Amino acid sequence: MPKLIFLGTSNAIPDEQHENTHTVVVGEQRIVLIDCVNSPILRIKKVGVDFNRLSDLIVTHFHPDHVSGVPQMLMNMWLMGRIQPLNIYGLDYTLDRIEELMGLYSWSEWPDFFPVVFIRLPAQDMISVLECEEFHILASPVQHFIPTIGLRIEFLKSKKVLAYSCDTEPCPQVLRLADGANVLIHEASGLLPGHSSASQAGKAAAQAEVGALYLIHYPTGEFSTGDLLSEAKMMFEGPVKLAEDFESISFD
Ligand SMILES: [Zn+2]
């Protein structure tokens, strides 16, 4: 049952086929959204996931292409009569700004608003984010312009492991998160400060000895550049895929 669904795969500039990068991990008991852009309800419904069963939101960092959907999602949940709490996980830097953002919308005055529980993660390597019967999620700070976390998700029944670099330059923390993982989802924005190229993503996959590499957060539409798959394959011998919106990976 546990699976990850790509809800968006583009870098900060989306196109018709690629929304900004965000994903959802769907388990039997918990549904964990990783970043939240635009109107997430539309895509969550489109992939057949019950919006009201969303239990947790992990916010990797406070850039608009990763958090723009938070106010809209919280308002939608409230208007749809949500009662159960929503857990939101992130670094202090991230959660402080989400609180400020929601403060601008006077959310404390929204009547009968459901509980939002902020779970503040210390900026340390391999911090435990969330542990349940189905999976254990860990985080480490990675190298981006602002405080940012990458993730490692260990699926307990199948013993499979998924790692996600998030937005980052090549750094040892990603290699530790991805160490021996079955799947590494790695950003491929390009050879830019605070980001990685497809070639660097391939190198990380080889160094961490992962089973398969998915490239995400890549330039799309008129900004597409080069042959990202070939670039990554020059560095990594295993399977490489370009993640596409609505595609899913199963971790049975
Ligand atoms: Zn980004």
Which token pair is 230? 């070939």
pTM, 2 dp: 0.97
**Could you tell me the distance, in angstroms and rounded to a whole number, from the CA of residue 64 to the centre of ligand 1?**
8
- The Cα–Cα gap between 188 and 186 comes to 7
- Cα angle value 6/101/97 (rounded, 5°): 80
Mean pLDDT of the region 48-64:
96
**Could you tell me the distance, in angstroms and rounded to a whole number, from the CA of residue 107 to the centre of ligand 1?**
26
Could you give the strand order of the β-sheet that contains 3-8, starting from the edge strand earlier in sequence? 116-121, 86-91, 56-58, 31-34, 22-26, 3-8, 248-250
**Could you tell me the distance, in angstroms and rounded to a whole number, from the CA of residue 83 to the centre of ligand 1?**
31
Number of alpha carbons in the 13 Å side-chain half-sphere of residue 69: 27
- The Cα–Cα gap between 223 and 203 comes to 23
pLDDT of residue 225: 84
pLDDT of residue 222: 87
**Could you tell me the distance, in angstroms and rounded to a whole number, from the CA of residue 217 to the centre of ligand 1?**
7
Mean pLDDT of the region 122-145:
97
- The Cα–Cα gap between 152 and 137 comes to 6
**pLDDT tens digits, one per residue of 192-242:** 999 999 999 999 999 999 999 999 999 998 898 889 999 999 999 999 999
Which token pair is 195? 């980001």
**pLDDT tens digits, one per residue of 78-90:** 999 999 999 999 9
**Could you tell me the distance, in angstroms and rounded to a whole number, from the CA of residue 120 to the centre of ligand 1?**
21
Q: List the shell of residues around ion ligand 1, using CB closer than 5 Å.
A: 65, 167
**Could you tell me the distance, in angstroms and rounded to a whole number, from the CA of residue 149 to the centre of ligand 1?**
12
132 Ramachandran zone, left/alpha/beta (phi>0; psi -120 to 50): beta
**Predicted confidence band at 51 (pLDDT cuts at 50, 70, 90)?**
very high
**Could you tell me the distance, in angstroms and rounded to a whole number, from the CA of residue 112 to the centre of ligand 1?**
33
Mean of the per-residue pLDDT values for the chain?
Answer: 97
pLDDT of residue 226: 84
**Could you tell me the distance, in angstroms and rounded to a whole number, from the CA of residue 53 to the centre of ligand 1?**
26
